[in-house]
Structure formats: structure tokens, C-alpha cells
Amino acid sequence: MASRYPLTPGITRLARRVPIELGRHHALPRVQRQQSSLARAAATAVRCFSSSRPRQLQQTQQRCANNTKFTSETYPEIKRDGRFATITADHVSYFRGLLGTESAVIDGVTSDSAADDLEPFNSDWMRKYRGHCKLVLKPGSTDEVSKILKYCNDNMLAVVPQGGNTGLVGGSVPVFDEIVINLSRMNQIIDFDEVGGTLVAGAGCILEVADQFLASKGYIFPLDLGAKGSCQIGGNLSTNAGGLRLLRYGSLHGTVLGIEAVLPDGTIVDDLCKLRKNNTGYDLKQLFIGAEGTIGIITKVSIQCPQRSTAQNVAFFGLESFEKVQQAFREAKGQLSEILSAFELMDEGSQALIRDVTKNRKPLDDKYPFYCLIETSGSNADHDSEKLQAFLEDVMEKGIVSDGTLAQDETQIKALWAWREGITEALGHLGGVYKYDVSIPLKEMYQLVEDTRARVDAAGLLGDTDDHPVRAVVGYGHMGDSNLHLNVSTRRFDKRVEEVLEPFIYEWIEKRQGSISAEHGLGLQKKKYIGYSRNPTMVGLMRQIKTFFDPNGIMNPYKYL
């Protein structure tokens, strides 16, 4: 963190460029920030273009030496479905004829030389899942996707649709020898309506690329997440990604206006509507949002993009209890209302891990059990600062917030966000992690972390020394969406840890009518746990829908349901 400035109550400081420390129960100064709106706009831009290097880095490392266990070894109970054909040279020959260019086909079937090239498509970035795929296809058009799928369906060849392969539940890599259909070549920005704000792009368009394009037009992509530099918008839709600003811009079920998709039999579903309102029949596109590639492949996306905010503020607080975090959230919703764009929660454990890894100076001097990051985005910097100021004064006076700091420029905004966005990377550096992405009614949201920690501790598995497999049980997430990321950081994988965690965590969530997957999806990881969040009637209906669209079951098998 950059330099900080202790507050003297009642003194007004102008044009300050460093974060302000907020003293407990002290009235805040009326800080008049003198940044031009241009500088503010730049600050916004920098935040949005932050790269997701961590994931890409790990992928590169992976290509050099992949020691990841095969999924088929980790989960020996999953057996290859004998109905699926094995890929032959004839199949490869068909695909080569169809796709033309050499680079569109990575062939490990007729030659062993492509083994290294296949690796990044076979493994996920967490090195948790690894398949035996020997053929990667990179279609360049919807028509090619259609012909590929029809051929696969006719020949009982299983496939895995793949975007940026940044998923967290093993949904985008094969288990056995499924063909990977990678959408990265279908990355065009196709159309943009500058008055209405409707963007149409290929499914392979990288989220950050789409957002940069929109920034140049004064708009913003209504989804933002850590992997934005690698993930593709088709994959985002297939996962129904939530991300950092769902609180403000809502879910993809609301913002996506249309899709083009290809069904397993090659049928092209052209539902690429660009209209905000279209009540002509069942909204079929919704089934593809969050379907994780199990009923078809999304090839194009039409999405409603909001106006980009020119002003942005970020504040970081320390709070004494989860009760106070809830109070702060309620106050923020009321007082910051239409400009609130993120309300993120981090516990002290998660921040301690970042400090251990990065050695960065922490935003606040003292330690608190909880920290919140609040972001505002609006069209008038002065108004937003004033609202934020009034909010800060109020929550300090009421004793809800104990200490805080306010970013004064783009560098500080980025630095504060790093204490939230950097958690995943920091945890990755320290060893294996059991990650749970869950939704729980707000009131009990953090209780899961405490109950899990107590349970791991009681089993003698948690400690500061090497003889304990578990280093820490931490929680963070999107408070605004009741979405908790419970992470169990381990020194080594130990079967006893898993036994203590599962099914305990899933049962805990079921009792509170929470969701075992808030935004990461089911993939392979949670396929067998869906029953904790969906009743048998729902699961039965879903299975029928799967069969309706994919009677041969070739789409992303062994996963989801």
C-alpha cells in the first residue's frame, strides 16, 4: 500500500493524493478531491484493464512440466462411457478436410508429436483436472461448429466445448478422450449499437478485449472477474459467471439479449436478438446460460452494456464483527444506493495469507477480524465523493466501521483491489486449496467459515506447524450477492481433510437452503452434490432437458448432472 496519512479530527485537507486513514469514532474531514474527471476516467480504465496474469502464468508453467494427476486416476469410480467411439485417423481426416488450416486441428491421434501442444487443453489452470484428449478442434465459424457437432453426434464422438479454460470446477477439460472444441478463433466483435449499447461478439472473444472495445465507446461489459484477461464470453455465459459487479449490473440472465448456439445434431439456433424486449415465445437462450456446454455450444453473444461510469472510488474498512459487516452493507445499500458497484468481504485469515506471500504493506495498521472493500461508480465525481464521505462519517460515528482508508488515485484503487483479487493467487502459491463457492443467506454467511474451522481444528488437522496438513480456513467473497468463497489452504493433500470437509459443508449449506455453487458451476467437481441444492423433481426435470437437447449424451459427458 502507498503512504498513508493519520487523521486529525475536524481538519479539512484538500487535494490529497494519498489514502486517508479513518480514526475510530473520529469525524471525517471533508476532503475535496481535485482530480480532473480525466484522471478519474483513467483510474477507471486502469482498474478494468488489470490483467489476469496469475492464471495465464500458471498455464505456461504447466506446459513445461505437467505433474497433474489424470482425472481418471483421481476419480477411479468414473468410467469411460462405452457408447462413445474412439477417434480414428478417418475421423481426423474428416476434421482436417473441414477446418482447412493446420492450426485449427491439434492432432495427437495420428502422431505423438502434438503431445505438448495438447497439454494446455487437457488440464485446468489449477492443475486439479487432466484429461486424455488427443484431438483439439478450433472452428472458425458457426457453420464449422455445426458440421463438427453433427459429425460427432452421428459418429458417437464425445466432445468438450472449451473457452478460455479458466473454470474452477473441471468443467472445461476432458476426462477421457473427448474431443476439445475450442472457441478461441471465433473472437470477433461483430456489431455495436452506440445509442442502445448492444454488443454482439463471437463466443471466443476474450472478456477484457470486449471490455476494452466498450471502454472506447463509453460503455462497460456488465460482467467483470479476475480471469478477464483469459476467459471468453461464451464460457462466461456457459458458466453463468457472476463476478465482482453483479450487485450493480445484475446477472447474465438479465443482460444477455440473445445467443447463437449449435445443438449436438448440428442445428444452428439463431436467437441472436439485439432487442431489450422480445416477448415472442419461450426464452430458450436462458437454458444455455449456465448449461456448461452440456446441451449445445454457444457461438455468438448479444449483450446489453451499461454506460461506463466516469468516476470511481474505492474504500477499504476494518470491522470488529460480522454483525457490523452486515450493518455496513445495509447502510451502504441505503446511502450509496445507485452508485454502489461492489461490496466485498475479506476475513483477517485471507489477508494474512496475502501478506505472507506478497510482503506488501497492509492498507490498515491494525488487524481486524473482517475487512470490506466498497467501490462506487457514478457519473459525477464530486457527487460520489460527497455521498461516500457522508457514508463514511455515518458508519464511523455509529461505530460500525473501526478504521478505513480511501484510495486517492488509480494506483491506490488498484492496490486496494489487490487485497481482494489477490487472494486466489496467494492461496495458490502456498499449496493445495479446497475451494468452496457457495451462496448462503446473508445472516449466516460467515458462520460456515467458523464452523468449518472449528471442525478442522477439532480433528487436529489445523496448525502453524508442518505436521498439520491445514494451514488456514479462510473466507472472502461477494457480500453484495451473499456469495462466500470458503477456502481451506493445505500444506499437502491429505485424505483426512477431505473427509472432515465433505459432506459436512454441503450438508451445512443444505440446511440453510443455500447453494453449493454460487457462480463457479457444477462441472466435474460438484456433479454428485447437486442434490444438496436441488430437489429430486428439479434434478429429474433437468435430466429430461439434457436428454431432450442431447439424446446421445455426447456434450461434455461425466459432468454437471
Q: Which 155-194 positions form the footprint of its own copies (CB under 8 A)?
A: 193-194
Exposed e or buried b per residue across 108-135, where buried means at least 16 C-beta atoms within 10 angstroms of its C-beta: bbbeeebeeebbbbbbbbbbbbbbbbbb
Binding of its own copies by 503 (CB under 8 A)? no
Binding of its own copies by 429 (CB under 8 A)? no
Alpha carbon distances (Å) from 431 to 227, 472, 488, 489: 20, 11, 10, 7
Distance CA 464, CA 452 (A): 17
Closest approach of Cβ 100 to its own copies, in Å? 27
Instruction: Considering the complex, state which of residue 350 and residue 533 has its C-beta at the smaller distance from its own copies.
Output: 533
Closest approach of Cβ 355 to its own copies, in Å? 29
The dihedral region occupied by 106, where left means phi > 0, alpha psi between -120 and 50, and beta the remainder, is beta
Binding of its own copies by 226 (CB under 8 A)? no
Among positions 337-366, residues that touch its own copies (CB under 8 A) are 337-339
Binding mask 61-100 for its own copies (x = CB under 8 A): ----------------------------------------
Amino acid identity of 162? Q
Residue whose C-alpha is closest to residue 231's, from 206, 199, 209, 202: 206
Question: Which range, of 6-14, 127-135, 137-145, 332-340, touches its own copies by CB under 8 A?
Answer: 332-340
Among positions 298-317, residues that touch its own copies (CB under 8 A) are 307, 309
Binding of its own copies by 399 (CB under 8 A)? no
Question: Which range, of 15-23, 95-103, 273-281, 315-323, touches its own copies by CB under 8 A?
Answer: 273-281
Single out the residue of 197, 234, 349, 557 in contact with its own copies (rule: CB under 8 A): 197
Q: 364 and 20 in contact (C-beta within 8 Å)? A: no
Q: Quick one: cell of 120?
A: 494446455
Strand 297-304 to strand 403-406: parallel, antiparallel, or no bridges (unpaired)? unpaired
Binding of its own copies by 215 (CB under 8 A)? no
Single out the residue of 38, 64, 195, 495 in contact with its own copies (rule: CB under 8 A): 195
Q: How many residues does the chain have?
A: 561
Instruction: Considering the complex, state which of residue 43 and residue 354 has its C-beta at the smaller distance from its own copies.
Output: 43
Single out the residue of 80, 442, 451, 528 in contact with its own copies (rule: CB under 8 A): 442
Single out the residue of 139, 204, 242, 349 in contact with its own copies (rule: CB under 8 A): 242
Angle between helices 115-122 and 53-64 (to 10 degrees): 140
Binding of its own copies by 528 (CB under 8 A)? no
Binding of its own copies by 534 (CB under 8 A)? yes
Single out the residue of 533, 554, 556, 558 in contact with its own copies (rule: CB under 8 A): 533
Distance CA 20, CA 3 (A): 9
Closest approach of Cβ 386 to its own copies, in Å? 7
Residue whose C-alpha is closest to residue 123's, from 27, 59, 56, 200: 59
Question: Which range, of 29-37, 88-96, 176-184, 242-250, touches its own copies by CB under 8 A?
Answer: 242-250
Single out the residue of 25, 79, 276, 429 in contact with its own copies (rule: CB under 8 A): 276
Binding of its own copies by 36 (CB under 8 A)? no
Beta bridge partners of residue 515, listed in sequence order: 439
Binding of its own copies by 545 (CB under 8 A)? yes
Instruction: Considering the complex, state which of residue 200 and residue 461 has its C-beta at the smaller distance from its own copies.
Output: 200
For 59-197, list the strands marked E by DSSP. 105-107, 135-137, 159-162, 179-182, 189-193
Instruction: Considering the complex, state which of residue 455 and residue 546 has its C-beta at the smaller distance from its own copies.
Output: 546
Q: Quick one: cell of 103?
A: 492450426
Among positions 121-150, residues that touch its own copies (CB under 8 A) are none
Binding of its own copies by 387 (CB under 8 A)? yes
Binding of its own copies by 329 (CB under 8 A)? yes
Instruction: Considering the complex, state which of residue 365 and residue 502 has its C-beta at the smaller distance from its own copies.
Output: 502
Instruction: Considering the complex, state which of residue 188 and residue 513 has its C-beta at the smaller distance from its own copies.
Output: 513
Single out the residue of 289, 303, 395, 501 in contact with its own copies (rule: CB under 8 A): 289
Among positions 464-483, residues that touch its own copies (CB under 8 A) are 478, 481-483
DSSP 331-380: HHHHHHGGGEEEEEEEEHHHHHHHHHHH-PPPSSSS--SEEEEEEEEES-
Binding of its own copies by 279 (CB under 8 A)? yes
Residues whose CB falls within 8 Å of the CB of residue 554, separated by 6 or more in sequence, listed in order? 84, 152, 153, 156, 157, 158, 159, 264
Distance CA 40, CA 42 (A): 5
Q: How many helices (H) and strands (E) does the chain have?
A: 20, 16
Distance CA 296, CA 267 (A): 9
Q: Quick one: cell of 179?
A: 474431443
Binding of its own copies by 282 (CB under 8 A)? yes
Closest approach of Cβ 502 to its own copies, in Å? 16
Distance CA 135, CA 127 (A): 20
Binding of its own copies by 326 (CB under 8 A)? yes
Question: Which range, of 111-119, 146-154, 279-287, 421-429, touches its own copies by CB under 8 A?
Answer: 279-287
